[in-house]
């Protein structure tokens, strides 16, 4: 759509209002960029995972099940608090416990 503007009238209207209409800074009308949120999950380091797995193998299946329930609660609280790094850490520990439960 092409709109023809009579600039003579535009300047005349600006002068009547006491200011030039196009003199206002345009940056105040721009919507600021929203910050980009990037979630990165950090899991346990391999040496920590190996030690955790070795320690868990020494426990009875009942104790591992209790520990898994405890970690699930901690993970859920971390998610509720939007602490996704902590939640990812607990998820990895839960995965290790599940693998031990399946005999892997």
Q: What is the pLDDT of residue 39?
A: 55
- Residue 82, Ramachandran bin (φ over 0: left; ψ between -120 and 50: alpha; else beta): left
The answer to whether the beta carbons of residues 50 and 35 sit under 8 Å apart is no
- Cα 41 to Cα 48, 69, 72, distances in angstroms: 16, 21, 16
Alpha carbon distance 24, 47 (integer Å): 61
Q: What is the pLDDT of residue 96?
A: 92
Residue 5 has pLDDT above 70, yes or no: no
Q: What is the pLDDT of residue 49?
A: 85
Question: Among candidates 94, 61, 97, which has minimal Cα distance to 76?
Answer: 94
Q: What is the mean pLDDT of the chain?
A: 76
Residue % of the chain over a pLDDT of 90: 44
Neighbours of 79 (CB within 10 A): 15
Q: Which two tokens stand for residue 27?
A: 């940056």
The answer to whether the beta carbons of residues 67 and 61 sit under 8 Å apart is no
Instruction: Give pLDDT tens digits for 60-101.
Output: 999 999 999 999 999 999 999 999 999 999 999 999 999 998
Q: What is the pLDDT of residue 46?
A: 73
Q: Which two tokens stand for residue 82?
A: 């939007």
């Amino acid at each position: 759509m092409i709109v023809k503007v009579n600039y003579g009238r535009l300047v005349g209207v600006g002068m009547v209002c006491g200011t030039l209409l196009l003199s206002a800074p345009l940056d105040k009308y721009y919507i600021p960029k929203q910050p980009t949120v990037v979630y990165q999950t950090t899991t346990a380091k391999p040496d920590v995972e190996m030690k955790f797995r070795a320690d868990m193998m020494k426990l009875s299946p009942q104790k591992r099940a209790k520990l898994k329930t405890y970690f699930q609660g901690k993970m859920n609280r971390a998610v509720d608090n939007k602490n996704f790094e902590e939640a990812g850490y607990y998820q990895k520990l839960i995965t290790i416990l599940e693998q031990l439960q399946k005999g892997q």
